[in-house]
Chain A
C-alpha cells in the first residue's frame, strides 16, 4: 500500500524568504512522485514530477524537489517566495503498478508581505 505524509498543515513565510514543504511517502515498490498546487476554488495543477533519472526536479516558476530514496522523502523547496505562491500544496505518490494517485493532506503556504 502507498501513503503520503505532509508533516506541516500550514506554513507561513515572509515574501522573498526561502521555504521548504515536507513530504514523506511509504511504498514497497518503485514510485512516481508529484507535487500539485491548488488555488482557492480551483482544481489541481501539476507543479513538478519525479519519474526516473535525476533526483532533483524543477518547475518553471522556481520550485524544486529532491527525491531521496533512503529517507523516502520528496520535499518541495523555493529559495525566494512571492505573494502569488500562496496556495495549498499537495504531494502525491503513485506506485509502479497502482492505478491511482495517493495524496497527502496538503500544506497551506501563506506568503506574508
Chain B
C-alpha cells in the first residue's frame, strides 16, 4: 500500500508568479484535501476534491484552484502569488462514500513554498 506523496518538496517562487503542486493519493482512496500550514500555525483547509469535483472549500480566494484526475491524484494551483502564500502545503487523502463516516485522512510530507 503506497502512501500519499507530494512534489516538489521545496519550491521558491517570485511574487506574482503561478505555481502548481502535485499530490498522489494513497492507494484505494478517492478523496483529496489540501491544507495550508503557515509557520507556527495549524493547517487551514483550502478545498477538497471527490470524484474529480470540488467538494468543499475553505476561506481561500479564487486564485487558489485545483484539479483531481481519474486516478485520484490532484493538483493545487495558486495564481498571482503573494508573500503571505509562503507556507507548507499539505495534501491528505481519504476514502469517502458508501456510508463511510469519520474515516481518517492520511497526509503527505508537504511542499514547502517560499514566495520572495
A28 within 8 A of B: no
| Partner pick for A32 among B35, B44, B101, CB 8 A cutoff | B101
B71 within 8 A of A: no
Contact yes or no, A100 B48, CB < 8 A: yes
What total of chain A residues lie within 8 Å of the partner, measured CB to CB?
Answer: 26
A49/B101 contact (C-beta < 8 A), A44-B90, A90-B42 known: no
Interface residues on B, range: 20 to 34
A-B contact pairs, 20 of them (CB 8 A): A4-B42, A34-B104, A36-B107, A43-B4, A43-B90, A43-B107, A43-B108, A44-B90, A46-B104, A46-B105, A90-B43, A99-B33, A99-B55, A99-B56, A100-B33, A101-B35, A101-B105, A103-B35, A104-B42, A106-B40
B99 within 8 A of A: no
7 smallest CB-CB distances across A and B, nearest first, come from A99-B56, A103-B42, A100-B45, A32-B102, A51-B102, A44-B107, A43-B107
| Partner pick for B58 among A45, A92, A96, A100, CB 8 A cutoff | A100
A61 within 8 A of B: no
Chain A residues with Cβ below 8 Å from B43 are 44, 90, 101, 103
Interface, chain A (partner B; CB < 8 A) = 4, 32, 34, 36, 41-46, 49, 51-52, 90, 92, 94, 96, 98-106
Contact yes or no, A49 B104, CB < 8 A: yes
Min CB–CB distance A106 → chain B (angstroms): 5
Apart from A49-B102, A101-B92, 5 more pairs, CB < 8 Å: A43-B108, A44-B107, A51-B102, A90-B43, A101-B33
